[in-house]
Amino acid sequence: MREHPIKWYVFLIAILLFSMWVINLVPELELEPQIAKSEYTTDFFSVTYSKLQMNAEGKPHDKLDADYLEHYSENGETKLTQPIMVIFKEPAPPWRMCAQTGRISSGGDSVFLEGAVFISRVAGEQVRAIEIETTNLHLEPNRNYAETDDWAELVSELDTMSGVGLKLFYQDPLYIELLAKVKGRHEYQ
């Protein structure tokens, strides 16, 4: 009876030694996370970035806030995390545009808000409140223009419109165009 348990111990020790030998043959896995390298070199960065730009009269023109900003020296592009852009259009209330991420072109002529984008303007003296939800918005701040090829939904008081593709001139007079598959709903009180 004593030989029977001894055979099991020898068998278990043989399995243990074989397992250790196999483990030593397998290359070690790197446990440290690899940082994704950009094809560009970071020129500068900022945490909790905020910039207020004034117009020729010294009044606020636009404001840009971001949780994180990174500028690349090779192409002059700036990447943003959680950007919030506020565009002042007196006497109407300002436009507020938020996104998950964003990019600013080299000259600052184009801003790309990427991922989910939320655009809003509160009601003012002679303007209604507007809320727009979309994705991947291209802005041209110098032209007061924004566009997307993606689905967009516009809500203004009791009116709701949605469609694929959006053109928005956020100036006086306001111009909004939904390009395809447009649906609208108006509710009466």
| pLDDT for res 136 | 94
Q: Residue 123 in contact with residue 93, Cβ under 8 Å?
A: yes
Find the CATH number of the domain harbouring 81: 2.60.450.10
Dihedral angle at the C-alpha atoms of 62, 64, 70, 73, nearest 10 degrees? 0
Q: Is residue 131 part of a domain?
A: yes
What contacts 28, CB < 8 A, 6 or more positions away? none
- Residue 23 corresponds to which amino acid? I
Q: Is residue 134 part of a domain?
A: yes
Q: Is residue 16 part of a domain?
A: no
Overall number of domains in the chain? 1
Q: Is residue 35 part of a domain?
A: no
| pLDDT for res 32 | 54
Convert the pLDDT of each residue in 30-69 to its tens digit.
555 544 456 778 888 889 999 999 988 999 988 999 999 9
Q: Is residue 80 part of a domain?
A: yes
Residue 140 or residue 3, greater confidence: 140
| pLDDT for res 83 | 95
CA distance 89 to 96: 11
Quote the domain boundaries for residue 48.
42-186
Residue 177 backbone dihedrals phi, psi, to 5 degrees: -130, 125
Q: Is residue 13 part of a domain?
A: no
Convert the pLDDT of each residue in 72-131 to its tens digit.
988 889 999 999 999 998 888 999 999 999 999 988 889 999 999 999 988 888 888 899
Q: Is residue 23 part of a domain?
A: no
pTM of this prediction exceeds 0.85: no
Q: Is residue 10 part of a domain?
A: no
Overall average pLDDT of the 152-157 stretch: 88
